[in-house]
């Protein structure tokens, strides 16, 4: 479905909550092993379809991967 191998939910949680107000997620939820649960929670909290939630999460993960690349030491 989506590549979550480098997604650190604990580090990204504040930005996730800021981008998706109303999304209730704690650090126990693993984006790697529970991606479908995270997408379902996103769809329910934002009132969007599962397809839209998947796209929104894919966009969010892309931005997080760019942020991670920029912060990597050269």
| Per-residue pLDDT band at 2 (split at 50, 70, 90) | very low
Q: For residue 39, with 0-12 CB atoms within 10 Å meaning exposed, 13-18 middle and 19 or more buried, which class applies?
A: buried
Alpha carbon distance 48, 28 (integer Å): 24
Q: Please tell me which of 4-8, 28-32, 34-38 the model is most confident about, judged by mean pLDDT.
A: 34-38
Residue 30 or residue 55, greater confidence: 55
- Cα(24)–Cα(72) distance, integer angstroms: 29
13-28 per-position pLDDT tens digit: 889 889 999 888 765 5
Q: What digits encode the pLDDT tens for the residues 54-68?
A: 999 999 989 988 888
Reported pTM: 0.74
């Amino acid at each position: 479905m989506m590549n979550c191998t480098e997604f650190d939910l604990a580090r990204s949680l504040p930005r996730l909550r800021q981008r998706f107000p109303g999304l209730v997620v704690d650090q126990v939820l693993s984006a790697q092993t529970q991606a479908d649960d995270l997408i379902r929670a996103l769809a329910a909290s934002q009132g969007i379809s599962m397809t839209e939630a998947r796209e929104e999460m894919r966009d969010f993960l892309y931005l997080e991967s760019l942020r991670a690349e920029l912060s990597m030491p050269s």
